[in-house]
Chain A
Amino acid sequence: MPDTDDALLSDITDILRDMFEEDDLVVTAEYSRQNNEHWDSMNHLNIIFALESKYRIKFGVVDIEEIQNVGDLIRLVKKKTGKA
């Protein structure tokens, strides 16, 4: 289980690289749907599903609508895994 924001950011980067097929994609906490046209509502759900599977957590209906950028993903994963 990743303890730090950096480790989480690295996991999320891997997921986004696989999803968008961009091997050298660089992602920050501010990286959001506005930065990538491939981050559509379908892929949004896929990213969430990837994180749910990886960390064995479940996001709720409110969580999914709150998520705007990578920072939101990090914050919610930490909350769900009890690391926040």
Chain B
Amino acid sequence: MDGSGSLDLHWLAPHPALRPAIKAAQASLESDAAKSFADLRLLAGHRLDFLTTMQVDRLADAAFRAAPAMWPEIRLAMLGASSMEHLRAPIRVAGARRGLQITPFIGGFGRFRQELIQPDSQLHAFKPDVLLLSLRTADVIERLPLGTTSEQVDAAVAAGVQSLVDLWRIARTEIRAAVIQQTFLNTDYPVFGNFDGAVAASSHSITDRLNRALRDAAAIESVMLLDVALWSAVQGLTPWYDPVRWHHAKQLIAPSAAVFYGDLIGRLLAAMRGLSAKCLVLDLDNTLWGGVIGDDGLNGIVLGQGSGAGEAFIAFQAYAKLLSQRGVILAVCSKNTHEIAEAVFLDHPDMVLKREDIAAFVANWNDKPSNLREIARTLNIGIDSLVFFDDNPAEREIVRQILPEVAVPEVPEDAAHFVSCLAEAGYFEAIAFTEEDRARAGQYRANSERSQVMQSGTDTGAFLTSLDMKMTVAPFTTVDLPRITQLANKSNQFNLTTRRYTHDQMAAFAASATVVTLSFRLVDKFGDNGLIGVLIALPDAADSQVLRIDTWLMSCRVLGRQVEAETINQLYRIARDRGFTTLVADYIPTSKNGLVRDIYARMGFTHIAGDAGSATQWSLPVADFQPTETAIAVDAQFQLQAAE
């Protein structure tokens, strides 16, 4: 919280002269729109408060009018029974912070059910991509007498949640919008004092139960949660809810929380589009421990029991370890002698993070921007997937200047606040927690072992054979859908068409009798790589003998392992068995997928349309295809589908 009691964006750097910068960006809008948008994104990435957010929003408004197609648009409909007008600017600016053009629509006060149900409503006409339901307990459960039994309360809660599940389904089937459900802000004071929680029908208890049931239902339905109840429990109710604002203006979310609230929506929408960061890059001295290992030595650094600071560094390491366990990759980038830095991980008894938790360990005397590039390259992820956490303001500044795409939080002076800094910044926002997330840390570790094997042997063929690779190919299954959707929405490099699909759209492909859906898993002697490839192919609308590859993407973790060749082998077999004569494929270039520009040429396809630099089209007569020999043993589970 800032000094005035607002939830501020403390992890973002303050801007030294906002007004002139906004004016400059506004002035260049006509002559150089691209620069104005870059400036807008940069300005939005500073520590704005509610009022400066409105100023930046005016720039955003002018920019979006001048060049409506510069950024991807997300149409966000907000429905509820509270006043939400003051949230418009914070949401739009939170989008700008991430290079997204959010177009908000605020539904009629308290008319959320009618708007959803009636096909001729303004909501339907707006055609939202995402629907946000922001409700209060009273909107879904009628007031229960205090004497109501626990079972009756649960029944009312279940009915209330079911009424929301019904609305979610309407939103997804009738409006084809992804759903964000806001949890219920618990604004009620206890009636019984400390005994309140023992009374099932106290207002506070009901909202508690409602939130619990809502979270379970959202997980089952794959609906995204905007968990204001969680945040207000962590940060306190006061910045979130102001009874004066509620009674005077029916603002459920107080202006003091508006900017943070907007950012929560920004990060959810970004996560939905696969834009969440993937890797936390940590400095060492005064970031993971107190002091300088090169000067103070193993016994001199501050870490562990015995001092408050030493315990705070341990707590931060423990948080980073939890991030790693949920699938965030950890890396180290430190100005140190490699052996001395690494020795702390190997030999210091109080280290929570171990050497094997770090997927890329870079300790040398090069400049940090070069090292960050190297880390991204080693891990095969984009520079914009990195979050750089360093206590040294000079290092932060140089990284911000040279690599503006890297997220660089303002690190607090006191290590006791490192965890809240990272947690509230929300760089790693998740909308699912999959089997692959759980296994990722081990996979990256195995990857570095594999590349060591690769370096030790020069014969690639022998190396691949030595990996003992086994690939499982299957049509999309319900169990795999969350991972398939996640992978399809975040793969940028090995992604031929970069089409993004929601969970529901993927489910529709899976259910279709004509669409060919394939998912690929790879296991080798170092471990399970998990689900690493997705392919969707549809019979061509004009010629039913032509099978067109709509989507093909692969995790870059398994690049150079012949998975791509084996993928085309498998697709070929299906096409042949189902009587297709020709495979047709597109490559749609983006700023990130240059890697696969020539993949179809390498796979034996013929170039049929499109110039280099633009979208290209490729074709392959099924009768002419010769499957590529690979070192991968295949377990194909799609015959079941093909035999239907």
Contact = CB atoms under 8 A, between A and B. Distances in A.
Chains A and B bind each other: yes
Interface of A: 15, 18-19, 21, 41-42, 45-46, 49-50, 52-54, 56, 58-61, 64-65
Interface in B1-46: 3-6, 19
B4 A18 contact: no
Q: Chain A interface mostly helix, strand, loop or mixed?
A: helix
B255 A49 contact: yes
Interface string B593-631: 000000000000000000000000000000000000000
A15 B52 CA distance: 11
Contacts of B6: 53
B65 to A, nearest CB: 16
Given A18-B19, A45-B248, 9 more contacts: A18-B55, A45-B245, A46-B86, A49-B256, A53-B50, A56-B5, A59-B244, A61-B247, A64-B248
A54 B52 CA distance: 13
Contacts of A21: 58
Given A42-B86, A53-B4, A56-B5, A61 B244 contact: yes
B244 A60 contact: yes
Interface in B65-106: 85-86
Contacts of B200: none
A53 B49 contact: yes
Contacts of B251: 45
12 contacts: A15-B51, A18-B51, A19-B51, A42-B85, A45-B248, A49-B50, A49-B51, A53-B4, A53-B5, A53-B49, A59-B244, A64-B248
Nearest to A58: B244
Contacts of B19: 18
Given A49-B255, A56-B3, A56-B5, A65 B49 contact: no
Nearest to A53: B4
A41 B4 CA distance: 23
B54 interface: yes
Interface string B160-185: 00000000000000000000000000
B50 A65 contact: no
A54 to B, nearest CB: 7
Nearest to B19: A18
B249 interface: yes
A46 B249 contact: no
Interface of B: 3-6, 19, 49-51, 54-55, 58, 85-86, 244-245, 247-249, 251, 255-256
Contacts of B5: 53, 56
A61 B50 contact: no
Given A58-B244, A61-B244, A45 B249 contact: yes
Given A18-B19, A42-B85, A61-B244, A50 B3 contact: no
Nearest to B2: A53
A59 B254 CA distance: 14
Contact of B255 (A18, A46, A61, A64): A46
A56 B256 CA distance: 12
A41 B312 CA distance: 46
Contact of A52 (B4, B58, B85): B4
B54 A19 contact: yes
A27 to B, nearest CB: 17
A28 B19 CA distance: 24
A70 B51 CA distance: 18
Contacts of B86: 42, 45-46
A62 to B, nearest CB: 10
Contacts of B3: 56
Contacts of A60: 244
B248 A50 contact: no
A61 B4 CA distance: 19
Contacts of A65: 248
Contacts of B85: 42
Nearest to A49: B255
Contacts of B4: 52-54, 56
The 4 A-B pairs at the shortest CB distance, nearest first, are namely A53-B4, A49-B255, A61-B248, A64-B248
A52 B254 CA distance: 13
B244 A46 contact: no
Nearest to A15: B51
Nearest to B55: A18
Contacts of A45: 86, 245, 248-249, 251, 255
Interface centre among A46, A49, A61, A65 (most CB of B within 10 A): A49
A59 B19 CA distance: 28
B242 to A, nearest CB: 8
B509 to A, nearest CB: 44
Given A18-B19, A53-B6, A56-B4, A46 B247 contact: no
A18 B247 CA distance: 27
B86 to A, nearest CB: 7
A9 to B, nearest CB: 18
A50 B249 contact: no
A50 B244 contact: no
A50 B58 contact: no
Contact of A64 (B50, B58, B244, B256): B244
Interface centre among B49, B51, B86, B251 (most CB of A within 10 A): B51
A8 to B, nearest CB: 17
Nearest to A57: B4
A16 to B, nearest CB: 11
